[in-house]
Structure 1
Amino acid sequence: MTGAAPKRRLAIALLAVFAMFVGGDAARAQINETGDLSIELVDPKVLRVCADPHNLPFSNEKGEGFENKLAELFAAKLNKKLDYMYFPQATGFVRMTLGAHRCDVIMGFPQGDDLVQGTNPYYRTAYALVAKPGSGLEDVAALEDGRLKGKHIGIVAGTPPATNMAVNGLMMNAKPYPLMVDTRLDSSAEAMIADLVSGKIDAAILWGPMAGFHAKKANPPLHVTPLVKEKTGPRLAFRIGMGVRGADQNWKRLLNRMIQENQPAINKILIDFGVPLLDENDRPIGAETATKVQ
């Protein structure tokens, strides 16, 4: 999301700082009516992915993120080699990667953002509250819940749930963590989880994929509850698809078909990384349902 971040890195709020990219997309879209992907792609024999080199659980240079695993799945299904254009997900990410024709797809991008052309979404998730088992906060699904009053809550500054926290009077005791960090050296999510485990904060609010990934790694594992009961402030659930250039219609159609045909395998990868999947009615999607062929 994530947090985007949502805009992505959190996943989601990060998109607010992405630079717009421009180019000859309109002209290219008009001439490519044949379905020839060589017109749209940097190299039609290679799946060239735009990614952050230090941004787990999404991606890293070692190929350890779930977006790396999704890229491997798609490369195999498409019978293509896999290559990456790595660039930090900060200002200029889209312009310097997809927009500069150095790669052909961003593996995770929130639906509805106009920086890129989005594919059909392949998962839906939400910001989530992370708490210790036995804390009494395990089933908190809305920031208006009275059990949060007076609690020290970790929040990534500038992300959508910060607005909801302010509306519900929770910012007085909140501990903010920076949205923009050098991911080679620092991680707000890791710092927040460390503070939760040590008792410096009572709960943490993170973009769903980050929440699930870090909660699963903790010892003992932490409890993750998607914040799907919000009645004030912005909604905190988002659909995530892939991002391509605006002119690349045939490439988008191919990716849409790949998503549809491989949804159970996609879901399995996401669940293995702890991503809290949601259906369109905000109900959790369990492993058995998620990996079942429709």
Structure 2
Amino acid sequence: MLRSLKIPAGITIAAIAASWSAVAFTASLGLPSEPQGAESEAPANARQASDSKSLRICAARKQPPLSLEDGSGLENKIGAALAEAMALKPQFVWSDRPAIYIVRDYLDKKLCDVVIGLDTGDPRVATSMPYYRSGYVFITRADSDLDMKSWSDPRIAHLGHVVVPFGSPAEVLLKDKGLYEEDMAYLYSLVNFRSARNEYTQIEPSRLVSEVASGSAGAAVGFAPDVARYVKSSPTPLRMTLIEDDAVKSSGEKVAQRFDQSVGVRREDASLLQQVNTALTRAKPKIDAILQADGVPLLPVAN
């Protein structure tokens, strides 16, 4: 959900929040700390008392496809499966703000107790054992011959527009290849030219996919859990290919493409973390089925 956003070299916190998940940005796009200068906010209606029969799950009210108030979000379903495996009732504590703020404004203030979909090892929290691993994908039209699997593919230089999430590893690599400047005006047109320097701004995952389906972009790059649902449901047949984890900048610096995902709890909640880890083992078949139903490609966890 928070896309515990691994920050690639050359990308500042201000530039990302100024990307997810989540829902997640997305590692996925998640920040090691929430954007500086953003006002901390925890509405009074979020103060739901904890009880021994419920699991309070931090969640963004509207961050499709990961978190939605009707419970249809990918990570809402995973949270419900986790609660069931703990013999608890899922109690969602909803935030009206993007999920990127949830750790600071909700978890740290003890308004909720777990966050679904953080990168394993996120320094803001104690993270559970990984419950799945996935990565960034290339999205292209199925009727094209663009079956790219690696950022080293020379065809990338001739794609025309490439839709990428702001602050993502894909943006870093486009810049490193000298392809970003000619794409920048197009990308910002997808968010009505809102400045990412002054507010949290991100291209909706559904828009990443629809731009390729319509032919407006030659390809898109997204974190698989963010885009798989839309690729699967697209009326225009699309190809989604996991990107090999071999991407490097011209300097030789690695730019990770694949990430383990975990549940986050407050660092001092050792007992809850242990319970979550035990429950994740029980819930794994159900969680895998939820991910597969959305079309998320799964990899063996690294940790």
1:131 matches 2:140: yes
How many residue pairs get aligned? The number is 257
Q: Which whole-Å CA distance do the structure 1 matches of 2:110 and 2:2 have between them?
A: 24
Q: 2:44 matched to which residue of 1?
A: none
Q: Which whole-Å CA distance do the structure 1 matches of 2:53 and 2:88 have between them?
A: 5
Which of 260, 265, 270 aligns to 1:244? It is 265
Higher mean displacement: 141-150 or 73-82: 73-82
Q: What 5-or-longer segments of structure 1 have no aligned partner? A: 21-40, 282-294
Which of 228, 233, 236 aligns to 1:220? It is 236
Q: What are the equivalent positions in structure 2 for 1:1-294 lying under 5 Å apart?
A: 3-6=3-6, 8=21, 9-11=24-26, 12-16=28-32, 18=34, 42-87=50-95, 88-89=97-98, 92-138=101-147, 140-151=148-159, 152-174=161-183, 175-176=186-187, 188-233=204-249, 234-280=255-301
* TM-score, scaled to structure 1: 0.79
Higher mean displacement: 80-89 or 1-10: 1-10
- What's the secondary structure of 2:65's corresponding residue? coil
Q: Which whole-Å CA distance do the structure 1 matches of 2:213 and 2:182 have between them?
A: 18
Is this contact kept in 2: 1:50–1:105, CA < 8 A? yes
Question: Once superposed, which parts of structure 1, at least 4 consecutive aligned residues long, lie more than 6 Å away?
Answer: none
Return the letter of the residue paired with 1:266: I
Q: Which whole-Å CA distance do the structure 1 matches of 2:267 and 2:35 have between them?
A: 15
Q: Which whole-Å CA distance do the structure 2 matches of 1:90 and 1:107 have between them?
A: 10
What is the Cα deviation at residue 192 of structure 1? 2.2
What is the Cα deviation at residue 280 of structure 1? 4.8
1:230-262 Cα offsets, whole Å, 9 max, x none, are 331411111100000001001101111111222
* TM-score, scaled to structure 2: 0.77
Q: Which whole-Å CA distance do the structure 2 matches of 1:225 and 1:256 have between them?
A: 30
1:32-90 Cα offsets, whole Å, 9 max, x none, are xxxxxxxxx93222111001111122111000012111222222232222211111235
- What's the secondary structure of 1:262's corresponding residue? helix
What is the Cα deviation at residue 154 of structure 1? 0.7
Return the letter of the residue paired with 1:134: D
Q: Which whole-Å CA distance do the structure 1 matches of 2:281 and 2:99 have between them?
A: 30
Is this contact kept in 1: 2:260–2:301, CA < 8 A? no
- What's the secondary structure of 1:47's corresponding residue? strand
1:196-217 Cα offsets, whole Å, 9 max, x none, are 1111101001111112121011
With over 3 angstroms needed to count, the CA separation of the structure-2 counterparts of 1:17 and 1:201, relative to structure 1, is farther
With over 3 angstroms needed to count, the CA separation of the structure-2 counterparts of 1:251 and 1:53, relative to structure 1, is same
With over 3 angstroms needed to count, the CA separation of the structure-2 counterparts of 1:172 and 1:91, relative to structure 1, is closer
Is this contact kept in 2: 1:211–1:224, CA < 8 A? no
1:84-132 Cα offsets, whole Å, 9 max, x none, are 1111235642121111111110011101211111011101111111111
Is this contact kept in 2: 1:2–1:209, CA < 8 A? no
- What's the secondary structure of 2:163's corresponding residue? strand
Higher mean displacement: 187-196 or 121-130: 187-196
Return the letter of the residue paired with 1:83: Q
Query: Cα RMSD over matched residues?
Result: 2.4
What percent of counterpart residues are identical? 26
Q: Which whole-Å CA distance do the structure 2 matches of 1:155 and 1:17 have between them?
A: 22
